[in-house]
Structures are given as structure tokens and as C-alpha cells.
Amino acid sequence: MKGINYLTIAIFNFLAAIAFVVTVVISDHSNWKFTYGFGFVALLFAITGVANTAKHLKGN
């Protein structure tokens, strides 16, 4: 797929991961399902950001 800038996508993924980590930190931890769920989603966004960064480096 031409025209995809993987570095921009990676930056957005890392920003989303940071937002979910901040949500975990400021939550009151009253419901562990939400806390671990948000943490898991943050981990997935971080992994996707690393993968997109690798795609960007491989393409250049």
C-alpha cells in the first residue's frame, strides 16, 4: 500500500498508549476489570506502535 506513513501511525499509537496509561493512573482502581483492561489496551497500542516504527524503518 503506497502512501501510508507508518511513522505518523506509530506516533498516534504511542500517544494513545500514553493516554490509556494516564487513564489507569488517575482511575480510582475500584473496578479491577477496567483498570487491567485499559492497561492491556495501552500495551496493545504500544506494541502496534513498535511494529509500525519497524515497518517505517524497513521501508526506508
The 3-class secondary structure across 22-41, one letter per residue, is HHHHHCCCCCHHHHHHHHHH
Domain segments of the chain as ranges: 6-59
What average pLDDT is seen over the chain?
90
pTM: 0.85
Q: How far is CA 37 from the centre of its chain?
A: 13
For residue 38, is pLDDT > 80? Answer: yes
Cell triple for residue 24? Answer: 489507569
pLDDT band at 7 (very low <50, low <70, confident <90, very high): very high
pLDDT band at 17 (very low <50, low <70, confident <90, very high): very high
User: Pick the residue with more confidence: 37 or 4?
Assistant: 37
